[in-house]
Amino acid sequence: MDLESKQATVEAKAVNDAEGIVEAVVSVTNIVDNVNDVIEPGAYSETLEKRIPKGVWSHDTTVPVARTIAAEELQPGDERLPTHLLEKDAGGVLVKMQFNLNTTRGRDAYEDIKFFGGEQEWSIGYSVPEGGSEMKNEGTRHIKKLDWYEYSPVLFGAAPGTKTVSVKEIDIDVKDAEEEIEDVKGPTRSHKTGVRAEGWYDKTAFRNMRSPADKAYYSKIFAYHIDGEDPAYKTNYTFVHHFVGDDGRPGPAALSALQNTFGLLNGARNGTKLRGSDRKGVYNHIAAHYRDDGKTPPELKSDEFVDAVMEMKERLPDFTHDELDALIEKGAEIEEIKSTLENIMANDAEITENTDAEIVAESAPSSIGTALQDAISALNTLSDQLSDLEVKDPNLPIGFSNTDADSDEREAGAGEDAPDVVVDLSHGGTVTPEEMAVAGTPAGNDASEEAPAEEEAEEEEAEEEEEEKSDEEVVEETQGLLDSLDLEELKEFQDLITFSDLGE
């Protein structure tokens, strides 16, 4: 959108040097300028009702320098106009503005205005809507209505005869001034519309809305205009909450969008960076729609509350954020939120501890089971060895048994022909006394054949001691594992022993 511009030479007055506040007549009316245009008195009335212009540098909307505290069109003859305009029966637009002294561009602009004084010139950026002008008197264009967007301090103007020698501070209706200031800060003015509960999708609304457009249009869709950004583009607004039709027309407010905004303002989900009057202004806009729908809006918490919950979100794990958001949207106070989160964190710690214990318990049966298997295997091996001791020599007479010759068992089993046998057998076989005496050894072998040397005997003795020691360690380890068993596991172990081969 191409904007036209009009210049006026003025002398601005610094009302508050410390805060960078300036008052100036930035445009004049009822005077033909050097391009044969005249802005008729009253041409600013409609645009001032729907839009507050911003101060930029040399019509560059990407370089904002000042915000508007108040703007008012003064009709010809108004005593607040400078003398030379009163003498020409001219009117003008008086603006009270504040330069942003925290930025280099704002501070430089402010110092230039003070330095040039009466030589300082101003210009406005505007557009003329269809039907807003009329050609009269040999080609002079009379502008009856315009859309005003910005004003700029410029080095050179093109409106001779409009010099303002001084501007005194003016009194503006307090109520109007407060409304203007609130609008300049970002929150858009509230308005009455219907509220729809179903079918909301913010991306659809954003896609359907027109761009570029003006702030009056976007104020019917968004709740906040980003301060200092070009109001003609939708990307410079936030808190969208209205349906927008395929034709770009704003529709009713969306109930879910209103509820979502209340949560964001109080710190739910990603929260908001807005504080003070900006956050309050957005809340007032959204709350008005909520009341129009017959509902009572939730309380707006303090800035300190929002700061506290956002700080908690930064230092707490992500899994607590859903619980925190639920508490915020319920309207819980900060102490209740902290107490609840402590319980959640403690419960999580208990679950973690129990889980670790379960992992240990699950790994324990594997070790114990291995020990049991080793024990059973050893017992089975011992049982097999004992069974081997019971094997009889097939060459011995039938009825032979390893019993005392005078016992009833021998008499009943072997008969009178059974030879005498050794009562205690330590050699793993079964032989008669005569067979043992042949070679003089327990096994009936010659002492000279394969008899272990003294060194070999000592070595075998050492190995046996080492094995006994190793066996003791195994027993101790197994006993430690068995001690960790509960009664049920001990019962199972006892049953295993009872029904093993050894037990039989």
What percent of the chain shows pLDDT beyond 90?
A: 26
Domain ranges in the chain are 4-181, 186-332, 369-498
Q: Is pLDDT above 80 for 219?
A: yes
- Return the biggest CA–CA distance within the chain: 164
Lowest mean pLDDT among 9-13, 61-65, 162-166, 368-372: 162-166
Residue 173 has pLDDT above 70, yes or no: no
92 vs 494, more confident: 92
How confident is the model at residue 469, as a pLDDT? 58
The predicted model gives 100-109 an average pLDDT of: 87
**What integer pLDDT is reported at residue 261 of this predicted model?**
96
In the DSSP assignment, the letter for residue 159 is -
Strands 147-154 and 54-57: parallel
Which comes out higher in pLDDT, residue 182 or 440? 440
Please report the pLDDT score of residue 491 as a whole number: 57
pLDDT at 373 over 80: no
149-177: average pLDDT: 49
pLDDT number for residue 273 = 92
**Structure token pair of residue 24:** 């100036």
- Asked if residue 145 has pLDDT above 60, the reply is yes
Cα distances (Å, whole numbers) of residue 26 to 84, 147, 153, 430: 15, 15, 9, 132
Question: Phi, psi at residue 394, to the nearest 5°?
Answer: -65, -15
pLDDT bin (cut points 50, 70, 90) of residue 435 is low
What is residue 422's predicted lDDT score, i.e. its pLDDT?
45
Q: Which amino acid is at 416?
A: E
pLDDT of residue 292: 85
Mean per-residue pLDDT for 424-451? Answer: 50
Mean pLDDT estimate for the chain: 74
Q: What angle (nearest 5°) sits at the alpha carbon of residue 380, between those of residues 497 and 471?
A: 90
Kindly state the DSSP code that residue 393 receives in the 8-state scheme. P
pLDDT surpassing 80 at residue 57 = yes
Contact (CB, 8 A) for 62 and 169:
no
Cis-peptide, bond into residue 394, ω within 30° of zero: no
Tell which residue, 358, 324, 352, has the closest CA to residue 340.
324
* Contact indicator for 71, 93 with CB cutoff of 8 Å: yes
Mean pLDDT value across residues 273-279 = 90
| Least confident among 213-227, 295-309, 466-480 | 466-480
- Work out the pLDDT band at 185, boundaries 50, 70, 90: very low
pLDDT tier at 147, thresholds 50, 70, 90: very high
CB 244 within 8 A of CB 252: no
| Class of residue 57 by CB neighbours under 10 A (exposed 0-12, middle 13-18, buried 19+) | buried
Read off the pLDDT band of 171 (50, 70, 90).
Answer: very low
pLDDT at 283: 92
Within a 13 Å sphere around the CA of 320, how many CA atoms are in the beta-carbon half?
21
| Whole-number pLDDT of residue 196 | 93
pTM of the model: 0.39
- Average pLDDT value for residue range 105-129: 83
Beta strand pairing call for 121-127 and 133-136: unpaired
At residue 277, does pLDDT exceed 80?
yes
pLDDT grade, residue 43 (50/70/90)?
very high
* Mean pLDDT, range 437-460, rounded to an integer: 55
**What pLDDT does residue 342 have?**
84
Mean pLDDT of 98-102: 89
| pLDDT, position 191 | 73
- CA 20 to chain CA centroid, Å, is 39
Spatial separation of the C-alpha atoms in residues 431 and 426, rounded to whole Å? 11
The residues, any chain, with a CB within 8 Å of residue 24's CB and separated by 6 or more, are 10, 12, 13, 94, 95, 97, 113, 120, 122, 164, 167
What are 416's two structure tokens? 């009178």
d(CA 277, CA 472): 82
pLDDT in tens, 317-330: 887 888 889 999 98
Q: What is the pLDDT of residues 451-499, one digit of tens each?
A: 555 666 677 777 766 666 565 665 566 566 555 545 565 556 555 555 5
**pLDDT digit string, tens, across residues 383-404:** 665 555 555 455 544 444 444 5
Lowest mean pLDDT, pick from 53-62, 117-126, 350-359: 350-359
- Output 408 or 244, whichever has higher pLDDT: 244
